[in-house]
Chains A and B, each alone.
Chain A
Amino acid sequence: QVQLHESGPGLVKPSETLSLTCAVSGHSISSSYYWGWIRQPPGKGLEWIGSIFHSGSAFYNAPLKSRVTISVDTSKNQFSLKLSSVTAADTAVYYCARERMTTVTSFDSWGQGTLVTVSS
């Protein structure tokens, strides 16, 4: 059974870069799934950040595209998120998820989420 686990600093200073890693276990990241990042500001809804295939092909949510980089490390079975020039508006719980590509993309397995606070 696939498991995903997010890790990274829980506190990031404004204007710096947020970096998170998602370790995948019980499933090869090189399979025919995409792998995505989704965030949720406290008390608010879900926002998709971006997704990546094991080949390195990635796509991003347009409003965040200029600040986001998602990468994959197949040797470690993990993928990562970098979000630059953060502000308080980037404070959120960040989830990684497995993305199933059928007729419609769906996120069928999720990590437990990690809270990242942007504050000086």
Chain B
Amino acid sequence: DVQMTQSPSSLSASVGDRVTITCRASQSITDYLNWYQQKPGKAPNLLIYAATNLQSGVPSRFSGSGSGTDFTLTISSLQPEDFATYYCQHSYRTSITFGQGTRLEIK
């Protein structure tokens, strides 16, 4: 099975900062990679699908890049509502795997 490793596991940043979160796959997964945001006590929310595609309704300050084994989620200018935990997720055929999460905290 493909293993997904996110880095960092936690991150402190300030409003207005540009932030990048990385997800690395244990083998090439082409662009089979999604990103989710989860706020405390809430269900995850799909942000980016197929590595680079912005889900409908998601602010344009969120973007995704990468292919193969290395992927990034970038928030261009952090807003107060962006402090949350972010997960990458891979799927292939009948296997679905989440990364361990990156907690984004206010500095």
Contacts and interface: CB of A to CB of B under 8 A. Distances in A.
Interface of A: 36, 45-48, 51, 59, 61-62, 95, 97, 100, 102-108, 110-113
Q: On chain B, which size bracket covers the interface? A: 20 to 34
Contacts of A51: 96
Contacts, number: 65
Interface string B25-54: 000000111101010001111100111000
A105 B31 contact: no
27 contacts: A36-B96, A45-B98, A45-B100, A46-B36, A46-B44, A46-B87, A48-B97, A48-B98, A51-B96, A59-B94, A95-B43, A97-B43, A100-B49, A102-B50, A104-B31, A104-B34, A104-B49, A104-B51, A104-B91, A106-B34, A106-B46, A106-B89, A106-B91, A107-B36, A110-B43, A110-B45, A112-B42
B43 A61 contact: no
Interface in B34-83: 34, 36, 38, 42-46, 49-51, 55
Given A62-B95, A107-B89, 15 more contacts: A46-B36, A46-B44, A48-B96, A48-B97, A62-B1, A95-B44, A103-B32, A104-B50, A104-B90, A105-B96, A106-B46, A106-B91, A110-B43, A112-B43, A113-B43
